[in-house]
Structure 1
């Protein structure tokens, strides 16, 4: 079968902090507080299925098993884990998320078969006054954070920053963080669903019961001297050039602007994932085309070859380094 760009039916996740803002992307969502749309996923907790072309109805896990390196490239196909390396999400934060931290791959208490979690956020939209929690304040230690938890003043140890559309945040494993209300983000991360909650505002979950905290694990994995977190604004001075907005051992994320037609080519040794942030246009390749609008995510096989985006739009591109 000839490779072609893949689109997937999102897996929707109800969250106590979610809302209905993901409907702006034209999604047909289930009832409830939908906090997450897993737009490209190959995980035990959510596997997306192809919506278009010959592989329609096929799960990403089946695509991986059948086409492996041909579609994903030698960098994008993990011999060690046998899993797709990334998980792509859109998050709607109607309320504050829990204060949390993720482990590295080396943490000895990881669930069996699970990975650590390094991620990045690109802010698609933010209400006036929106903020996030991004790391600890300078000088905080395990001892000072432990004391703050015991005394009920954990928020005093956290660094809050304002956010606006176009901001990006790199969040390596070990970084304490939380999205706050009024923020809509695209998240590119390791293929992991491991989160340790440090604090959750003493609120009940969707079932009315207190949500589980993971204080000991959180204290164990926090990088008290900074794990390398970095933030930036992402203004683009010109079209048809890539701005690197995140670089980790697990993913590279770039931002670009289409104004007219932008010819591109698949990397060969990695797949490419394009997330449309705003605008509208068309994705074309030798054998077909797809319309592109905000919220769309396209997986470009490593072996596709030439393709192009046309129109007026802004997008992210994610690769495996």
Structure 2
């Protein structure tokens, strides 16, 4: 029986644009440098998360889902996804600009790659002055103009940009062009998919001096060319982003308040990420677990009536 939350060993990914903030944010020591991503919870083949403490230490997330099924995922998730874990949870630290990208939707991803598409969201944790987020088209272009602008390096002229600040949220449905600008530390919640079409990379070179591969033609059919007036999210209340794939809520709790209930509206597991401070998370059987800044916990669907106390900023994620 799964009667306590699961904590996993993070996969720390070194990339050419990665920074040095993730390890201290998580309070861990590592010899790695240029860490751009920490995969907090993953079922992506080749990088499946492994429990690092408690009675299930050494077991993979996939093994636990195969053993416990709906007890871990929730009955509804189990009906929809079977033994596949539907979300990928990351921390991202951009020392330099990330490439401009787009992700295919479910239909196109299944057709081309036999996997789900990628809808995602970003919640900004910290920034440096001048940090920007790029999201969506700011003027109407055709697929033909898109290809021309990629070829002559003018694609950035038609992509909307925003000065980013801690607490900002950007929802990125599949098909929306986007990029994380230099100086952002953020949490990313996305569908379990590692399919990315790189549109533009500032003529950046890899460690061998070669231009990084672009996916101009694959991206052309994946892009949503609709223009919106504003691509920044403006949440009301605690719900930062809600869609068919996930709900993400923010809780700001302080030590002077009574225990704060963590909403559990879906028949789902609950992921708690601590972005600042620390909190005691209690659930219905009386067990209490302390979560610290940089930690991520997975609460099986059977663990309900979650409450948080302490002084912390938390994200609560359900599928």
Asked if these proteins are the same fold (TM beyond 0.5), I'd say yes
Aligned residues: 314
* Cα displacement (A) at 1:111: 5.0
* Cα displacement (A) at 1:152: 2.5
Q: Which residue of 1 aligns with 2:168?
A: 167
Q: For 1:140-151, what aligned pairs fall within 5 Å after superposition? A: 140-151=141-152
Q: Which residue of 2 aligns with 1:254?
A: 249
Distance 1:111 1:201 in 2: 27
Q: Which residue of 1 aligns with 2:233?
A: 232
Q: Which residue of 2 aligns with 1:222?
A: 223
Task: Compute the TM-score of the two structures, normalised by the length of structure 2.
Answer: 0.91
Contact 2:273 2:316 in 1 (8 A): yes
1:62 aligns with 2:63: yes
Contact 1:266 1:272 in 2 (8 A): yes
Query: Which one is further off, 182-191 or 51-60?
Result: 51-60
Q: Which residue of 1 aligns with 2:315?
A: 316
Distance 1:95 1:296 in 2: 24
Distance 2:296 2:245 in 1: 19
**From 240, 243, 246, the counterpart of 2:238:** 243
Query: Which one is further off, 18-27 or 70-79?
Result: 70-79
Structure ranking higher in strand proportion: 1
Contact 2:138 2:227 in 1 (8 A): no
* Cα displacement (A) at 1:265: 7.0
Query: Which one is further off, 95-104 or 9-18?
Result: 9-18
* Cα displacement (A) at 1:308: 2.4
Secondary structure, counterpart of 1:134 in structure 2: strand
Contact 2:18 2:94 in 1 (8 A): yes
In structure 2, list runs of 5 or more residues that go unmatched.
none
The RMSD of aligned alpha carbons is 2.2
Deviations 1:103-161 (A, max 9, x none): 00100675543210000000000111110111112222212222212222222121111
Deviations 1:9-41 (A, max 9, x none): 111111111011101221333523111000011
Distance 1:301 1:229 in 2: 36
Contact 1:275 1:317 in 2 (8 A): yes
Q: Which residue of 2 aligns with 1:290?
A: 289
Task: Compute the TM-score of the two structures, normalised by the length of structure 1.
Answer: 0.91
Contact 2:135 2:231 in 1 (8 A): no
